[in-house]
């Protein structure tokens, strides 16, 4: 099953289960973990996908936990911060994910409520999360999603240099509007 097919299945689940997605844990189980799995990562293997990954900033903030860290050689390469399904990500506090960038060496972060997935990097300043996402996926508007570019985050295609180059193109050639519409959805990878 291709990524677009898996995302369409997740969109259908989100529509059917929206009334039951009343908290962050339900959202993580029903939509976010399956999204990570759709990228080819084994969500049941804590060596590959670590839930509640420690991301403390010594002397500043203790007890910080990333909802999911996708690991490579024991180090996080993608951070995933989950919010409840009913959260409006456009007004949500991004401070947690931003702090996780400072506490880890991950270069990619995802902020999500299970329906909207916002993809961030640290293109402006290394280890400081950019203020705006370089891409978005709204499960209810997959026609506008940069699917080919998001595939670069998959386990089989992950190459940080190529991914950051793509992120830079997406971010600087045409700014991703926070309307859920991505004008680069058909841009070549």
55-64, 128-137, 177-186: which is most confident:
128-137
* 86-138 tens-digit pLDDT: 998 877 767 778 777 777 888 999 999 999 999 999 888 887 888 889 999 99
- Give the residue numbers spanning the domain of 151: 3-173
The band of 183, judged by pLDDT with boundaries at 50, 70 and 90, is: very low
Number of domains in the chain: 1
**Average pLDDT of the residues in 136-145:** 92
67 belongs to a structural domain: yes
What's the pLDDT score for residue 56?
Answer: 66
Domain CATH code at residue 84: 3.90.1570
166 belongs to a structural domain: yes
The band of 60, judged by pLDDT with boundaries at 50, 70 and 90, is: low
189 belongs to a structural domain: no
Asked if pLDDT for residue 174 goes beyond 60, the answer is: no
183 belongs to a structural domain: no
What's the pLDDT score for residue 112?
Answer: 95
* 1-48 tens-digit pLDDT: 799 999 999 999 999 999 999 999 999 999 999 999 999 999 999 999
Q: pTM of whole model > 0.75?
A: yes
185 belongs to a structural domain: no
Residues in the chain: 189
Could you give the C-alpha distances from 1 to 32, 109, 136, 142, in angstroms and in order? 18, 25, 21, 16
């Amino acid at each position: 099953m291709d990524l677009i097919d898996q995302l369409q299945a997740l969109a259908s689940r989100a529509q059917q289960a929206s009334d039951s997605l009343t908290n962050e844990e339900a959202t993580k189980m029903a939509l976010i973990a399956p999204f990570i799995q759709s990228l080819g990562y084994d969500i049941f293997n804590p060596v590959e996908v670590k839930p509640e990954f420690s991301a403390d900033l010594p002397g500043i903030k203790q007890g910080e936990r990333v909802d999911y860290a996708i690991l490579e050689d024991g180090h996080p390469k993608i951070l995933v911060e989950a919010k409840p399904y009913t959260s409006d990500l456009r007004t949500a506090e991004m401070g947690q994910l931003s702090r996780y960038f400072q506490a880890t060496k991950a270069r990619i972060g995802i902020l999500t409520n299970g329906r909207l997935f916002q993809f961030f990097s640290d293109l402006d300043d290394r280890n400081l999360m950019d203020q705006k996402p370089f891409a978005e996926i709204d499960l209810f508007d997959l026609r506008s999603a940069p699917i080919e570019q998001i595939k670069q985050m998959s386990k089989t295609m992950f190459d940080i240099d190529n991914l950051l180059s793509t992120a830079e193109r997406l971010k600087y050639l045409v700014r991703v509007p926070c309307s859920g519409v991505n004008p680069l959805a058909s841009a070549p990878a």
